[in-house]
Amino acid sequence: MEANPRALDVLGDPTRRAIVDRLRRGPSPVGRLAEGMPVSRPAVSQHLTVLRTAGLVSEHREGTRRIYRLEAAGIEELGRWVDALVADARSGGGAQAGTPPTPGHAGGRPHVAASRREKSPVPPDAPKDGGGKKKHGKKRAGRK
């Protein structure tokens, strides 16, 4: 999964897993996928966008409708990663002692870029409120 470390993160969401399970039955428009889901249709569309960005789902248009389907290449990549994980577990835990893990995999988890893990230190004199604009709490002129 070196090429796509987000696939497992994306499937960590139960709604996305439910969408993937529904797509296992075949291609489907958003409306059909959203039927009976505990989230709104726009929320299902947002989840589909995340799945598409991760390479697990693709879409095509039929008139005004978007039809979604599982993307075999993304699912196969995920499967190869899981197969390698199973093989490592069967062989007694993977790499020999002192041997670094396969690039992109650390401790059986996909690689997360350092820029996402590490945040820059906050200077001690930085404002406590984050220094940004406040989104709420300011009244507009002329309104009570």
What domains are defined for the chain?
1-98 (1.10.10.10)
Query: Which residues does 122 contact at the CB level (< 8 Å), separation at least 6?
Result: none
| Residue 109 reports pLDDT greater than 50 | no
Q: Span 29-42, mean pLDDT?
A: 94
Q: Given 3-state DSSP classes, what are the helix, strand and coil percentages for the chain, each rounded to the nearest 5? A: 40, 10, 50
Instruction: Please report which confidence band the pLDDT of residue 110 belongs to, taking 50, 70 and 90 as the band edges.
Output: very low
pLDDT at 7: 87
- Please state the pTM of the whole predicted model: 0.61
